[in-house]
Amino acid sequence: MQIGERGVVDTSDGTLTGRALNSSHTQFYMPSDIAVDPVNGDVYVADGYGNSRVVVFDRDGKFLLQWGHQGTKEEADAGVGGAFMRVVHCVVIGNDGLVYVCDRQSDRIQVFDKMGNFKNNIWIKRGNSLPDNWGTTWWIGFSPDREQKFMYVDDGGDEEVKVLDHASGKVLSSFGRPGHQIGEFTHGHTLAVDSKGNIYVAETDWGRRVQKFEPVK
């Protein structure tokens, strides 16, 4: 199955130079991530670098719903739900059944239910004005325990992985810094967590590698 057509995007003229429409039921505009609901197979798409929305399809590729719009500076500062700044960079479904979306340039993770109803923000602020050009919330993963006690956030702006308490959203610790050496990141972009709790961080562009980290007590 394929959703969308290569080389055609959700814009006024179907090209990358057209005006983003944020509305197509069949096309995207540079989507950045997908999540599959383990309950029913619904597909959630973070769309993405051009549009400002999350789009949901059923397991057969039929459009179900969407939410989100291009936010303003005022909406970003106020933490308005569903207002995304520039890049909707990741989408993850937690064991709690909630949908976690990286609103990268707003320095926050927006949390929704599966129907797109806004629940709360998880902020990763660093004191600068919004929108943040690089942003802090590039990718997220959870520890493999049932409660997913820890949330790992790939902060590509500061080149760190931040460890959060999932329940409260409080930052507990972090690791990494800018650089090319072991344990350092150059354009840290995405991460994944395996069943043993190991964390894999992928560096894009000039980083060009994946690093594996083992959890320690």
CATH of 33-213, one of 3.60.15.10, 2.60.40.1120, 3.90.550.10, 2.120.10.30: 2.120.10.30
- Say whether pLDDT at 217 is over 90: no
Q: What is residue 19's predicted lDDT score, i.e. its pLDDT?
A: 95
28-87 confidence digits (pLDDT tens): 999 999 999 999 999 999 999 999 999 999 999 999 999 999 999 999 999 999 999 999
Side-chain half-sphere CA neighbours of 46 within 13 A: 26
CB 148 within 8 A of CB 141: no
Phi, psi at 12, each rounded to 5°: -60, -30
Q: Please state, in angstroms and rounded to a whole number, the distance separating the CA atoms of residues 174 and 181.
A: 17
Query: pLDDT over 70 for what percent of the chain?
Result: 100
Q: What is residue 216's predicted lDDT score, i.e. its pLDDT?
A: 86
Q: What is the pTM of this model?
A: 0.97
Sequence-distant contacts of 153-157: CB under 8 A, at least 24 apart: 153/109, 153/124, 154/188, 154/189, 154/190, 154/191, 154/201, 155/124, 155/188, 156/104, 156/185, 156/187, 156/188, 156/189, 157/126, 157/132
The β-bridge partners of 99 are: 93, 112
Q: Please state, in angstroms and rounded to a whole number, the distance separating the CA atoms of residues 45 and 195.
A: 24
133-188 confidence digits (pLDDT tens): 999 999 999 999 999 999 999 999 999 999 999 999 999 999 999 999 999 999 99
Q: Which of 106, 151, 141, 142 is nearest to 124 (CA)?
A: 106
